[in-house]
Structure 1
Amino acid sequence: MLYYLSLFTGDISFLNIFSYITFRTGAAIVTSFLLTLLIGPKVVAKLRSYKIQQIEREYGPASHLSKSGTPTMGGILIFLSLVVSVLLWARWDSNYIWLLLFTTVTLGIAGVMDDYTKLVKKNPEGMKSSIKLAIQLFTAVVVVGYLALNPPNGNYTTSLIIPYMSKMFVDLSVFYFAFAMLVIVGSSNATNLTDGLDGLASGCMVFTAATYAIFAYLAGNVNFADYLKIIYVPGAGEITVFMGALIGACLGFLWFNAYPAQVFMGDTSSLFLGGVIGTAALCVKQELLLPIAGGIFVLETLSVMLQMGYFKLTHGKRLFKMAPIHHHFELLGVPEPKVIVRFWIVGAMLMLLALASLKIR
């Protein structure tokens, strides 16, 4: 919204600063961060008064039993600060902004419904997995359908750019759309699985969002895109502002979610955080970079899949002590704070590895 102040630059030259994506991205980070700090104590207190509390199930690590009673559904903090900051600093005429907000809202609703079923209706299994999947698929169909009709770059509608290779593409034809839907649904569920330790998911999300903020900025600039040999996406720069707001919201949430957590995010935000990153990857045409930039989330998901497969093949044996893999390290005796920080370090290294693809081509 504040972008439109730049239209009055002829009267007040200073207002031109609101036209710069870099300025608005920085402002979006600060705004969402400060807003989270401002409303955080009241939201946490309200959740506690409503007894919206984490209930550790019997098959979780024994060390997590002490977390019982900690308020959850704290993801509402990320949701509110993100949406407000985006509406303040992003251009309202950007279709990418509304596409990302749509993903945020629909998957946010799914997360709230799941948490409500678990914590208020006292059903530990949450809402039916079929309903959750239906909402995720609906979101993916709308996003992918829109991008099919309004491709980021019409020359590469169904093509994937191969990271670290100079102008090498793979055209998936009609199969691209099924792949794109898998990106959104898979990213959403991967983030949900990672949300198991204090600050783990939100901290790792900062690095992944920062990666796509940079790629969106570069893809939206025709000169940078041409020089770096990435796909030019007109208008992608506004995605940078959205990612900035997401980074600030996650950092603000970490203020309350860092070990020992005062509040957990719950499915309320873990579902939409992953979905938003998946949508951003599709919009900037860097789909294959997602397993690198979001490598921690991929690792967590693979550990669950491997655990389940190994369990069935060996008739009850386990590959890991517990899945997702962050619990495996806990049960090996690594303290929870150390597991979290080490995963953050790996996340930061993966971000740098993803960014290295800009020059290794």
Structure 2
Amino acid sequence: MLYYLFNYLDREFDLVGAGVFQYISFRAGMAVLLSLLITITFGEKLINMLRNKQVGESIRDLGLEGQMAKKGTPTMGGLIIIAAIVIPTLLFAKLENIYVILLLITTLGLGAIGFLDDYIKVFKKNKEGLAGKFKVVGQVGIGLLVGAVLYFNDDVVVREFNPTPQVETTSEITVPNYVDSKSTTTTIPFVKNNELDYDAFNPTNNEWVTAAIYILVVIFFVTAISNGANITDGIDGLAAGTSAIIGLALAIFAYISGNAIFSDYLNVMFIPNSGELVIFCTAFVGACVGFLWYNSYPAQVFMGDTGSLSLGGIIAVLALVLRKELLIPVLCGIFVIENLSVIIQVSYFKYTKRKYGEGRRVFLMSPLHHHYQKKAMPEAKIVTRFWIIGILLAIITLATLKLR
């Protein structure tokens, strides 16, 4: 909104300084600053409000050190995360941008699913929360919407340049020679000719088959990563800190993908208008870092499913929009390994129970962070080490720009 206001003031009145809103870097800086201010300033008010309404986390006794001391800690803190993402985006981003619209819908949609789950747990006193099948239906619904928009919307294109510009002989004007095309291509990490077209998996020439393949891929990533973030949100500060690291890496990818010069130099797909996502990404990072002000050990508030589902979904959609979803196993390695630890634990337990009559475990407890808690490692140390691993994974992901 402020972008349009200052753009109008600059165009109509030549207001000094108004033109600075044309720069993505300035608006991104303002977005992260406002996001931090919102979380830090209003976070305590939200915590007090939740505490007064007795919106406390119900804790199952898993035999973990210090676990029961967290009983009654306010939850649903994801509300402040969502506000700190949405408000700066509405103020500083171009709201007609299809990618910004899609990310806002994802944030609010998955946030609503998580809120319903938290509401049932807290106010209906049902520890199970929203039934898993309904949660998955909601995630699949968001994934279906995102996939359909990315595939069918005419504004979602990839721009390819011809190094030889066209020359209009009649007017002697040199114009750039490029073509915007609808495409289902994505980036393959660590490969020289690093583009993969999902249409290659279509055994027919039917466009609807390609659409179905692509949309199923989108649904898989949205569901998997939102669940991964949800599982990772098990100890103080882990999900928020990890998400901030991932969000910063995606902001760099968004800036490069939306810049013709940088994308050409680094041989990255140029995605017109994707640079606007830098504003969303910085608001996302600011919200996560600001939330750590209250969520770091010992946590004064938990984000709940309201926050964790939306954070994971945002990361997945950002990666899909930027055609970097195949980098998710590296960039989101923490989420992936947390997910896998649960799958491995449950699968092996069921297998050994059928074979030996007694279930056996690979980990002392899953998800993985609970395994280390069982080994008596301090919670703060686990979180810090996971953050360090997250930073290393982000660096490796960014290195794929040149390592091929």
Q: Is the shorter-chain TM-score for this pair beyond 0.5, marking a shared fold?
A: yes
Report the CA distance between 1:156 and its aligned residue: 6.7
- How well do the aligned residues superpose, as a CA RMSD in angstroms? 1.3
Alignment match, 1:163: 189
Provide the rounded CA distance (Å) in 2 between the counterparts of 1:104 and 1:196: 21
Query: C-alpha displacement at 1:6, in angstroms?
Result: 3.0
> Contact 1:167 / 1:229 at 8 angstroms: preserved in 2?
no
How many angstroms apart in 2 are the aligned matches of 1:207 and 1:176?
27
- Looking at structure 2, the residues matched to 57 and 304 of structure 1 have their Cα atoms a distance apart, in angstroms, of 17
Who is 1:231 aligned against?
Answer: 269
SS of residue paired to 1:170: strand
Partner of 1:260: 298
CA contact (8 A) 1:152 1:283 kept: no
CA distance in structure 2 between the aligned counterparts of 1:60 and 1:163, rounded to whole angstroms: 41
Change (3 A) 1:26 1:247: same
2:72 to 64, 69, 79: 69
Count matched residues. Answer: 361
Q: Looking at CA atoms only, which structure, 1 or 2, has the larger radius of gyration?
A: 2
Aligned residue number for residue 43 of structure 2: 40
Task: Give 2:205's aligned residue.
Answer: none
TM-score of the pair, normalised by structure 2: 0.87
Q: Which residues of structure 2 form unaligned runs of 5+?
A: 159-179, 200-209, 354-358
CA contact (8 A) 1:90 1:238 kept: yes
Indicate the residue corresponding to 1:346 in structure 2.
389
CA contact (8 A) 1:152 1:285 kept: no
- Corresponding position: 1:198 with 2:236: yes
Distance 2:311 2:100 in 1: 15
TM-score by length of 1: 0.97
Corresponding residue number in structure 2 for 1:6: 7
Contact 2:146–2:218 (CA<8 Å) still a contact in 1? no
Alpha carbons of 1:152 and 1:200: their partners in 2 closer, same or farther (altered >3 Å)?
Answer: farther
Matched with 1:288 is 326
Alpha-carbon contact 2:258-2:272 (below 8 Å) kept: yes
Q: Which segment is superposed worse, 324-333 or 162-171?
A: 162-171
| Superposition deviation, residue 360 in structure 1 | 1.3
After superposition, the Cα gap between the structure-2 partners of 1:203 and 1:285, relative to the gap in structure 1 and judged at 3 Å, is same
Task: Give the secondary structure class of the aligned counterpart of 1:240.
Answer: helix
* Cα deviation, residue 293, structure 1: 1.2
Residue 337 (structure 1) shift:
0.4
CA apart distance, 1:205? 0.3
Contact kept? 1:52, 1:72, Cα under 8 Å: yes
SS at match of 2:364: coil
Partners of 1:147 and 1:60 lie apart in 2 by 45
Counterpart in 1 of 2:171? Answer: none
Matched AA of 2:379: E
Moved more, 245-254 or 7-16: 7-16
Q: Structure 2: which amino acid aligns with 1:142? A: L
Range that drifts further, 318-327 or 170-179: 170-179
Shift of 1:59: 3.3
CA distance in 1, matches of 2:402, 2:182: 21
Distance 2:216 2:115 in 1: 27
User: Do the aligned residues in 2 keep the contact of 1:159 with 1:176 (CA within 8 Å)?
Assistant: no
1 or 2, which has the higher helix percentage? 1
After the TM superposition, which parts of structure 1 deviate over 4 Å for at least 4 consecutive aligned residues? none
Structure-2 separation of matches of 1:251 and 1:139: 26
